[in-house]
Structure 1
Amino acid sequence: MSMQQRTVWASLIAFVVVGLVYAAVMIPRMIGSEPSEISWVWPMAIAMGSIVVVIIAGVIVSTISGAISATVRGEEPEFEEGDERDKVIENFGNAKGLSIASFGSLGAIILAMNDVDPFWIAQLLFAVGLLGGIVGAALKLRAYSRGL
């Protein structure tokens, strides 16, 4: 498995796990509260930072476990850099994920034009960023297993 593919797996896991944890923290806060009363800035900042940390940790753990597994099997650990196929898959997944995030950004602009509370604008942008990341990573993994 190339380093790029490890990163895609780690990204998918990070987006899903952090998104679920963020939802578990925020949904109870939203129930019965006015948007202006909800504390959301720090949870969102922590969630965004956590995505980066989880991706890095995932790649490190995946690389180490792959090396240990190869060593136990008596093989030489390989750390592939990737090739042209990895670049094509990366561009394909990024294009799809960014398309989703772009449409969500349009939604945020529409909300801002209608003077919607910044809480909802931030939640929409965060959600479409997560959704774009999940879709992009899932499409990349499908391309790795089945081709484009």
Structure 2
Amino acid sequence: MSFGEKRSWIYAVSALVVPVAYFATVLGRVPGADVTKIAYVWPMLTAIGVAVVLNIVASIVATIASPGDADKEDERDKEINRLGQHVGFYVVSVCALVPLGLAMVEAEHFWIANALYLAFVVSAITSSIVKIVAYRRGF
């Protein structure tokens, strides 16, 4: 497995695990509650910070585990990364229409913020999956 693929797996796992924990915690409070009273800002910022730190630490561990592979990047790696980022951009662009629509109908900030966060999560997971598939099936 190339180092680029390892990084894609790391990103996919952190982009999936951390938001699932966040949404389970925060959306678990919604039934029967007034969403204006639900504290979501600090949990969301914490989830984003944890995802970033997890990504960095896991990448460092992967680099330590195979130091010879960490600095090797060829044209294929660059093209796969570009393709994943390209697809991720389009996904987040389309998904961002939901929070935009919520803002236009003057929905609560809770729903707008969570829809936007979910748009970024879906984009990150999609981008990672595209990269992993490109590494596995060929580019």
TM surpasses 0.5: yes
**Bigger mean CA deviation after superposition, 118-127 or 58-67:** 58-67
Match of 2:88 in 1: 97
Unaligned runs of 5+ in 2: none
Give the counterpart of 2:126 among 126, 129, 135. Answer: 135
Question: Partners in 2 of 1:6 and 1:60 — Cα distance?
Answer: 11
The TM-score normalised by the length of structure 2 is 0.92
Give the number of equivalent residue pairs.
139
- Tell me the amino acid that sits aligned with residue 128 of structure 1: A
Match of 1:111 in 2: 102
Query: Following TM superposition, by how much is the alpha carbon of 1:2 offset from its aligned partner in structure 2, in angstroms?
Result: 4.1
Query: Following TM superposition, by how much is the alpha carbon of 1:125 offset from its aligned partner in structure 2, in angstroms?
Result: 0.6
What is the DSSP-based 3-state SS (H/G/I as helix, E as strand, rest coil) of the residue aligned with 1:30? coil
Give the counterpart of 2:70 among 74, 79, 102. Answer: 79
Deviations 1:75-109 (A, max 9, x none): xx443420111111011111111211111212211
Give runs of ≥4 in structure 1 deviating > 4 Å.
none
Query: Following TM superposition, by how much is the alpha carbon of 1:17 offset from its aligned partner in structure 2, in angstroms?
Result: 0.9
Query: Following TM superposition, by how much is the alpha carbon of 1:12 offset from its aligned partner in structure 2, in angstroms?
Result: 0.6
Deviations 1:42-78 (A, max 9, x none): 00000111111111111111222335xxxxxxxxx44
The structure number with the bigger radius of gyration is 1
What is the DSSP-based 3-state SS (H/G/I as helix, E as strand, rest coil) of the residue aligned with 1:55? helix
- The question of whether the paired residues in 2 share the 8 Å contact of 1:2 and 1:80 is answered with no
Match of 1:57 in 2: 57
**Cα RMSD after superposing both structures:** 1.5
- The question of whether the paired residues in 1 share the 8 Å contact of 2:3 and 2:69 is answered with no
Unaligned runs of 5+ in 1: 68-76
Question: Do the aligned partners of residues 83 and 19 (structure 1) sit closer, same or farther apart at CA in structure 2, a change above 3 Å counting?
Answer: same
**Bigger mean CA deviation after superposition, 98-107 or 121-130:** 98-107
The TM-score normalised by the length of structure 1 is 0.86
